[in-house]
Amino acid sequence: MTRLDSDRLVRALQGAYNQGKRRKDLLQLTATRMRAAGSPYTGVYLYMLHDYDLLLEAFDGRATEHTKIPVGKGICGRAVAERRDINAADVAAEPDYLACSVETRSELVVLIRRGEEILGQIDIDSDVVNGFDESESKAVKEVADALAALL
């Protein structure tokens, strides 16, 4: 069992879309609902790609000073540069890690992709080491894929 009920969140996103909600609300709904799943979801950040920068468009959890991250910088920027999801099981082992909180121990970045295009990413901080196993990551990916279709 995953902590995140991705089917339920995808249905909520589709419902919100059908009620006329768009980008900002859908990103905020994602952040809020995902973090509500509890540990390992300590902070959820929706960074969207604008040319060569990731801009923070919605979040739930601790505020971060990293509201604009260039492609290639930090774990978030590296995920875009390398066009892949990154599961950093121990952020202390990542030389390019940009700290948002000293409490953070692990981080999962899942890209929001529409075909070949990278729209942005779901970035999740956890206060536990190795917070996200394969099934939890898959649940986040299902939400990212749903967002890609609705944004």
Using CB positions, name the residue nearest to ligand SME: 74
Shortest distance, position 74 Cβ to ligand SME, whole Å? 2
107 binds ligand SME (CB under 6 A): yes
Task: Name the helix (H) or strand (E) containing 142.
Answer: helix 134-150
Contact between 119 and 113 under an 8 Å Cβ cutoff? The reply is yes
Shortest distance, position 35 Cβ to ligand SME, whole Å? 12
DSSP letter assigned to residue 88: E
- Is there a cis peptide before residue 40, judged by omega within 30 degrees of 0? yes
Identify the residue whose tokens are 């801009």. Answer: 55
98 binds ligand SME (CB under 6 A): yes
| From candidates 97, 119, 137, 151, binder to ligand SME by CB under 6 A | 97
Shortest distance, position 111 Cβ to ligand SME, whole Å? 13
3-state DSSP assignment of residue 99? coil
Binding mask 75-94 for ligand SME (x = CB under 6 A): xx------------------
Shortest distance, position 58 Cβ to ligand SME, whole Å? 12
